[in-house]
Amino acid sequence: MSEYYYRRKLGAKDLLPAVGVGVAAGLAVTYLVQLLIQRTPLASSAQIAAGTEKSAGTLTSKSGTAEGELTGALPPGRTSVARLSAG
């Protein structure tokens, strides 16, 4: 038994849902990229220019362990949870 498929031409009305999904996905990606670009950096530009950070993504603390907090990452007057629990 042979199967027969009829392929009809698609018009603009048939393609509209797919175009809408594409536009919505593009807007969502644009919004997420804007959020990532505008977020507050973990270190100031002066610290980065002075080379106080050893490498990107490396956490350093006063004791030198990777489990510590970034030096100078918090604004003045703010205390991290790690510092509060350490006493």
pLDDT in tens, 1-54: 678 888 888 898 999 999 999 999 999 999 999 999 998 777 777 888 887 545
Q: Which carries the bigger pLDDT value, residue 66 or residue 78?
A: 78
- Residue 42 has a CB neighbour count (10 Å cut-off) of 15
42-65 tens-digit pLDDT: 777 788 888 754 555 555 544 544
Q: H/E/C letters for each residue in the chain?
A: CCCCCCCCCCCHHHHHHHHHHHHHHHHHHHHHHHHHHHCCCCCCHHHHHHCCCCCCCCCCCCCCCCCCCCCCCCCCCCCCHHHHHHC
Specify the pTM: 0.42
pLDDT at residue 40, as a whole number: 78
